[in-house]
Chains A and B, each alone.
Chain A
């Protein structure tokens, strides 16, 4: 394996006292943002992106690594203690996690989540480190038609398969695609949907969309429902360590969860929602066969598996981003913006052009995971104290940070007004139960999808069959059709059951 010496070099570059300080701060800030209800890891990365602009690339990436995994873990803290998962990826581990907390085992639930996140992330990052060069080689097989197929796969999967109503999912997707159109068309140079306003020529930044949709939308929504009842925060006590017996119960679940999570980082279905639920479902079925089923009363496996799955997905998603240049979640998309900021173009060539930085980043991911484990195993309950801050100040702070992040990253007032507009759309979507993930995926992959579609059609001179002329594209579309049929059958069954 020639990856090992390169990785070790990466560690050498990443392991300086200053960088350790960055990853430490990143992990702290990421966890803090992740803990806040409604804000997840993608928000953490979006809000802290402007901060990292002032650092050198190595320092910035190492901080990102901390923010990235820290945000994911923060999601689960609020889920377990408050029954409000910070992100859709933390919903699955909330079911049993909150029940554990209710039965006085909050500290153990948090520890299970922390170790699960660590092991899932560790295995995934190891795979990425040693498999990435291979994947980059495979990626050279991908032409315009294949990339378009991948994007279509992502769009349909997230709007039709993941969302609970196909129409609502599609509506969210189309809104995202429309947002992505604004700006100068790179291929022809035509100005599109900008109303001639120069500030719009560069398009609407993914940061504005993420912060507006997630943070502002949430603040508006919370305000509109402020008379609705709230749940109480559970205080944690007792040992944050797991007994040997608990370890024995959780260990296989961590591994099973990781196995679910790994492939989903590479498949663009919008992050870790599907694998976390698959992992949860499996554990539940396994539990039914046991002599003393624990599900419904706070089963440790119900926390361990989804948590490991979520972080495994996040880990391999990084691999897909680095080697294919394909962001499979909004978090990855914001990271992509960071890469571009430093003049790096993720894709098959990245390992040759920016090899040293990539290996440093991969090493930083490992360091970030370790720092998080150290930080979170004993201190997770402390993070939860953030939730004791009075709600009006918590959300005022979020609003202030949202405005700061957007203004600082673009330095333009137009972005602040856009932020308000997108926040209002986000509010509307929340209010009427439309999923937000398709909007973000569409903004991320929309430009890629359009470019590749036009390239394919230009090469084939308008022959649409060029879109399905290779083995890879046929496989992707077949998989997609199969998934859709499966979902349709499941939904029809559920419907007939309800009617009876």
Chain B
């Protein structure tokens, strides 16, 4: 259909997502289980969040003055629900997975997911966060802009650098000098 799906459309779009090339070997070998087991990432995320909440609940220091129902009351319910939904989802995915015929997979194949692109952008963001205070907004912003453009497939590094620097400077000018927002000056503040 189109490149960007809104939240609701995304549901339809994922049906067309290709199976991941990074399937675990034992699963990939079983021929009658072709559907993307990577969907299990969602229940895995739920379990991870549930685990974090459980850890937090166990280690929570409840003040003696707290009356019932205390700070752990509602989170306990939600943690339980997280595990229930994760379990139900796992069952659903595994059952759907078993039902899907191998031939259906071949039909739905589209271009593969570009993990390198996403990885580049995540890295650009992490780098941005790391250098924002020491180097200042202008340079950190340039890094971010350049990294995201690169991740999205731009192959003109020098031109991109100029665009990135220009955008970053414009923002600094408009928001810091114009509207009075406090942005870290970094090394450029020494001059």
Quick check: is B149 within 8 A (CB to CB) of the other chain? yes
Residue of chain B at shortest CB distance from A170 = B85
The interface stretch among B4-12, B26-34, B99-107 is B4-12
Given contacts A175-B46, A392-B153, A399-B148, contact A190 B3 (CB under 8 A): no
| Distance (whole angstroms) from the CB of B119 to the closest CB of chain A | 9
Given contacts A188-B65, A416-B132, contact A396 B148 (CB under 8 A): yes
A188 touches B63 (CB 8 A): yes
Given contacts A223-B121, A400-B141, A433-B10, contact A454 B73 (CB under 8 A): yes
Contacts of B168 in A (CB 8 A): 400
Could you tell me the distance between the alpha carbons of A419 and B126 in the complex, rounded to whole angstroms?
Answer: 10
B62 touches A190 (CB 8 A): yes
Given contacts A190-B66, A230-B2, contact A225 B42 (CB under 8 A): no
Could you tell me the distance between the alpha carbons of A397 and B74 in the complex, rounded to whole angstroms?
Answer: 40
Query: Which residue of B1, B6, B88 is within 8 Å of A167 (Cβ)?
Result: B88
Contacts of B73 in A (CB 8 A): 454
Contacts of A428 in B (CB 8 A): 41-42, 45
Given contacts A54-B180, A190-B61, A462-B68, contact A84 B2 (CB under 8 A): yes
Query: Which residue of A164, A222, A392 is within 8 Å of B8 (Cβ)?
Result: A164
Quick check: is A197 within 8 A (CB to CB) of the other chain? no
| Distance (whole angstroms) from the CB of B43 to the closest CB of chain A | 8
A433 touches B74 (CB 8 A): no
A190 touches B70 (CB 8 A): yes
Given contacts A167-B89, A392-B148, contact A273 B8 (CB under 8 A): yes
For residues 95 through 116 of chain A, which have their beta carbon under 8 Å from a beta carbon of chain B?
none
Given contacts A230-B3, A403-B141, contact A178 B11 (CB under 8 A): no
Given contacts A428-B42, A454-B69, contact A226 B153 (CB under 8 A): yes
Given contacts A223-B114, A226-B117, contact A178 B49 (CB under 8 A): yes
Number of A-B contacts (CB under 8 A): 257
Query: Which residue of B4, B88, B113, B133 is within 8 Å of A37 (Cβ)?
Result: B4
B117 touches A224 (CB 8 A): yes
Quick check: is A427 within 8 A (CB to CB) of the other chain? yes
Query: Which residue of B42, B65, B110, B148 is within 8 Å of A432 (Cβ)?
Result: B42
Query: Which residue of B2, B17, B71 is within 8 Å of A431 (Cβ)?
Result: B17
Contacts of B89 in A (CB 8 A): 167-168, 171
For residues 213 through 250 of chain A, which have their beta carbon under 8 Å from a beta carbon of chain B?
216, 218-231
Could you tell me the distance between the alpha carbons of A91 and B110 in the complex, rounded to whole angstroms?
Answer: 24
Contacts of B65 in A (CB 8 A): 188-189
B144 touches A403 (CB 8 A): yes
A432 touches B14 (CB 8 A): yes
Interface residue range, chain B: 35 or more
Contacts of A170 in B (CB 8 A): 81, 85
Query: Which residue of A164, A168, A177, A404 is within 8 Å of B78 (Cβ)?
Result: A177
Could you tell me the distance between the alpha carbons of A88 and B49 in the complex, rounded to whole angstroms?
Answer: 27
Could you tell me the distance between the alpha carbons of A181 and B50 in the complex, rounded to whole angstroms?
Answer: 12
B2 touches A178 (CB 8 A): no
| Chain B 75-87 near chain A by CB (<8 Å), digits 1 or 0 | 1001001100110
| Distance (whole angstroms) from the CB of A112 to the closest CB of chain B | 21
Residue of chain B at shortest CB distance from A36 = B4
Contacts of B167 in A (CB 8 A): 396-397, 400
B6 touches A225 (CB 8 A): no
| Distance (whole angstroms) from the CB of B140 to the closest CB of chain A | 8
For residues 23 through 68 of chain B, which have their beta carbon under 8 Å from a beta carbon of chain A?
39, 41-42, 45-46, 49, 52-53, 56, 60-63, 65-68
12 pairs from A and B in contact (CB 8 Å cutoff): A91-B9, A168-B89, A171-B85, A174-B78, A216-B125, A227-B111, A273-B8, A392-B150, A396-B163, A420-B125, A433-B10, A435-B8
Task: Beyond the given A191-B60, A396-B167, please list 19 additional residue pairs across the A-B interface where CB-CB is below 8 A.
Answer: A38-B4, A91-B9, A164-B11, A181-B78, A223-B120, A392-B150, A392-B154, A396-B145, A396-B152, A400-B171, A403-B125, A411-B182, A420-B122, A428-B45, A453-B69, A453-B74, A454-B73, A457-B68, A458-B68
Identify the A interface with B (CB < 8 A).
37-38, 50-51, 53-54, 82-88, 91, 164-165, 167-168, 170-171, 174-175, 177-178, 181, 185, 187-193, 216, 218-231, 273, 390-393, 395-397, 399-401, 403-404, 407-408, 411, 413, 416-417, 419-420, 423-425, 427-437, 449-450, 453-454, 457-458, 462
Identify the B interface with A (CB < 8 A).
1-15, 17, 39, 41-42, 45-46, 49, 52-53, 56, 60-63, 65-75, 78, 81-82, 85-86, 88-89, 92, 110-115, 117-118, 120-122, 124-126, 128-129, 132-133, 141, 144-146, 148-154, 160, 163-164, 167-168, 171, 175, 179-183
